[in-house]
Amino acid sequence: KNQVEQSPQSLIILEGKNCTLQCNYTVSPFSNLRWYKQDTGRGPVSLTIMTFSENTKSNGRYTATLDADTKQSSLHITASQLSDSASYICVVSDRGSTLGRLYFGRGTQLTVWP
Amino acid sequence: EADIYQTPRYLVIGTGKKITLECSQTMGHDKMYWYQQDPGMELHLIHYSYGVNSTEKGDLSSESTVSRIRTEHFPLTLESARPSHTSQYLCASSELRADSNTEAFFGQGTRLTVV
């Protein structure tokens, strides 16, 4: 069964600190992995997208890693800001069909305190 | 900034009413999707479309229906709303490419409450 599991479920950190969010998946055949940021009551916004051959990708203070062998990904946030408070969702796409079906994790709810 | 728009953002409606949630995108994307998301839960695909006159049901059974008469427009309709339909509905779109490595852009969502 294709699944995406994220940990931790929630995380509280102080402003300026770094944190790392984890994503494990069992989606096969694998096409790509995406990290999205979703503010409360809003739609998800893409942070990174990585294919099988990529093992790291950065977008400002966000750095995503991918280990396609162990089927794990992480999202590292450096020098956190209050505006980073949001849910971070790991999404894995398969390549079994033209649709490129997306499998969503439940997200990690990050809260940044001043 | 994604050019995909959903209206209304919030809707409170009585049981039994018919409602239509609007979704429009100006990116010329062929693929469009509707997802349902409850608080703290993952997104579930309820409908998708490959292009004009193409509509398919997603993974999560839904009493809603969709239509795709124009490329840019993908409305979702509930003929008779019930409290169990209370949820957030997210529309998304992406290019149609064989390698599926395309960005999916999401709208802001419609928060539906049926009382």
pLDDT in tens, chain A (114 residues): 779 999 999 999 999 999 999 999 998 888 889 999 999 888 999 999 998 888 999 999 999 999 999 999 999 999 999 999 999 999 998 876 555 678 899 999 999 999
Which chain A residue has its CA at the smallest distance from B44's CA?
A104
Question: Which amino acid does the sequence have at A15?
Answer: E
Closest among A3, A18, A24 to A67, alpha carbons compared: A24
Query: Cβ of B2 and A106 within 8 Å?
Result: no
pLDDT of residue A30: 87
- Chain A contact for B74 (CB, 8 A cutoff): no
Cα angle A92-A12-A73, degrees, rounded to a multiple of 5: 25
Sheet strand arrangement including B65-66: B4-7, B19-25, B76-78, B65-66
